[in-house]
Amino acid sequence: MQINDVHRGIQKHKARKRVGRGIGSGHGKTAGRGDKGHSAHSGHAKRFAFEGGQKQAFRRVAKFGFSNNFFTRRMAEINVSVLEARFENGAVVDEAALREKGLVKGEWDGIKILAKGDLTKKLTVKVTDFSAGAEAKIKAVGGSVERVH
């Protein structure tokens, strides 16, 4: 082999195989499907994880464990620094107010206030849950917390 004919005969864009186009094509009559059986019939496609009749891997492997993920509560989390930036002194912070300001979007099981940041404004906060630090920060500046369901 010479270096100048290394790529000779290699097709980068090979034409697709056109089956069922007459006996002269070499792929006529049964069109490469063989003579009989379910795989020769129209509408046949191999199902997911089919392994030629061998027991599929997902059926051979033992199943174990349980997940409580279905039962978890999805909470929208908001830090007190966000409340400091977006609300005026003496404001009532509830779900409606948070949604109006665009802080809570979409569907959640509840809203939880977290303690990141500082708070200097006196706020009345009515949400589902508070972290211990957030509750302490809100009460320290004279605000009030109320858990709603």
Residue of 143, 101, 100 lying closest to 119 (CA atoms): 143
Are 107 and 75 in contact by the 8 Å Cβ rule? The answer is no
Measured distance between the N- and C-terminal CA atoms of the chain, rounded to whole angstroms: 80
pTM score, two decimals?
0.56
45-87, pLDDT tens digit by residue? 888 888 888 999 989 998 888 889 989 999 999 999 999 999 9
Determine the length of the chain: 149
pLDDT band of 95, cuts 50, 70, 90: very high
Report all structural domains of the chain as residue ranges with CATH numbers, in order of start.
73-147 (3.100.10.10)
Residue of 119, 122, 137, 65 lying closest to 89 (CA atoms): 122
